[in-house]
Amino acid sequence: MNPFTTQQKALARRILRHSLYWILNVLFLTIHYSSFSDFKNFIPMLKTDLVYLPGGMLFAYFSIYYLLPRYFFQNRIPLYIILQLIVLIIYSVFSGFICIYIVSPYIFNETANLKLGDYVSMMFILILGMVPLAWARITKRMIQDNNLKRTLEKEKIEAQLKVNEAELKLLKAQIHPHFLFNTLNNLYSLAIQKSEKTPEVILKISDMLGYIIYDCVSEKVTLEKEIEFINSYIELERIRYDEGMTLSFIKSGDFSNKYIAPMILHAFVENSFKHGASKDTGNPWITIDLKMNREWLRFAVSNSKVPDKGPVSTGIGIENVKKRLNLLYPGRHSLKITADEKVHHVFLDIQL
């Protein structure tokens, strides 16, 4: 059984990395400064750098593990710069004392005479030691922040998708009762009139319910089935209006291997009958144009209407479709509805 935990192993690796770093740092400084005397004072320079090492580590780690997270990472940059300059000045003074009272008399057997340039050099030596560690710390923090940001964005997207899915299910659930309500109203009108067409209408409704119950449970249906459903609905309405209405349904393009959310187009066709032709007691007319242009479906419905006598409501059907279009085809559809006193137009483009 391994006596070391994962955290202990990670800590041991971290200590090893830092130890190697400072060893290399000391060797670099020793080699650099002893090279000026052809390495004759290599050992004294090594002793000197080892004497400076604890103080350098102390000030470096204070800057990296206190000032960076507390000020730099909190976007308190001006204050961080001021405090970092103060740390560098204090370090240079601290190192000056070490040089005067330890390094010069005990390693080089001489009296130190420090100038301003010597204190500045001590600052740069500390900066040289800090930069790689600070860079590693900042890089690690940026990676962590980026990962956290992506995680939060992913969670936000997943939460939004769940909300959209729940809303879509609710909207989809409204389709069936809405269709049944309107269709049963038509059937009721025929029954009141004791029309001989009532049995034929019932059969039509039965076929259409089959599509709604079995096909519309899918997220998408073939465009051909949706068109077939619209055709059935139009035939149902033809029976109701008999010869009292002019209707045109023009289809063009290749509809094979195309899929669409069910009942999206039907709502606009139904609306043209319910709020247009049914209220026009003169010569009602409806024109429907369905065109497939590569990946774009272009759908237009126009119908006659009587002059408005007040605010006109399209009911839940059109509002339902608008919400479903926004959820299912965001940025991939265009819907424009216009009307004047005599004509109502719908123009819908969908990228399938």
pLDDT of residue 173 exceeding 70: no
Nearest to 84 by CA among 50, 55, 146, 127: 127
The backbone torsions φ and ψ at residue 252, rounded to the nearest 5 degrees and listed phi first, read -150, 150
At 151 the pLDDT is 83
At 11 the pLDDT is 87
Q: How far apart are CA 221 and CA 310, in angstroms?
A: 38
- 120-137 pLDDT, tens digit per residue, is 999 999 998 999 999 999
Q: Which CATH architecture has domain 195-351?
A: 2-Layer Sandwich (3.30)
Q: Which residues contact 230 (CB under 8 A, 6 or more apart)?
A: 249, 265, 266, 269, 288
At 43 the pLDDT is 92
Radius of gyration for the chain, computed over Cα atoms and rounded to the nearest angstrom: 40
Higher per-residue confidence, 313 vs 67: 67
Range of lowest pLDDT (90-94, 189-193, 268-272) = 189-193
At 113 the pLDDT is 85
Count H helices and E strands in the chain, helices first: 8, 7
Nearest to 182 by CA among 301, 275, 319, 285: 275
pLDDT of residue 246 exceeding 90: no
Residue percentage of the chain with pLDDT more than 70: 80
Instruction: Give mean pLDDT, residues 228-253.
Output: 81
The backbone torsions φ and ψ at residue 27, rounded to the nearest 5 degrees and listed phi first, read -60, -40
Instruction: Give mean pLDDT, residues 171-181.
Output: 57
Domain segments of the chain as ranges: 6-154, 195-351
Q: Which residue has the tokens 């990962």?
A: 147
Residue 242 — very low, low, confident or very high, per pLDDT cuts 50/70/90? Answer: low
Residue 279 — very low, low, confident or very high, per pLDDT cuts 50/70/90? Answer: low
Instruction: Give mean pLDDT, residues 94-102.
Output: 92
Residue percentage of the chain with pLDDT more than 90: 34
Q: How far apart are CA 17 and CA 14, in angstroms?
A: 5
What is the length of the chain? 352
Residue 148 corresponds to which tokens in the numbers above? 């956290």
At 235 the pLDDT is 81
For 324, other C-beta atoms within 10 Å of its C-beta total: 21
Residue 279 corresponds to which tokens in the numbers above? 């209220």
Q: Which residues contact 235 (CB under 8 A, 6 or more apart)?
A: 204
pLDDT of residue 81 exceeding 80: yes
At 298 the pLDDT is 93
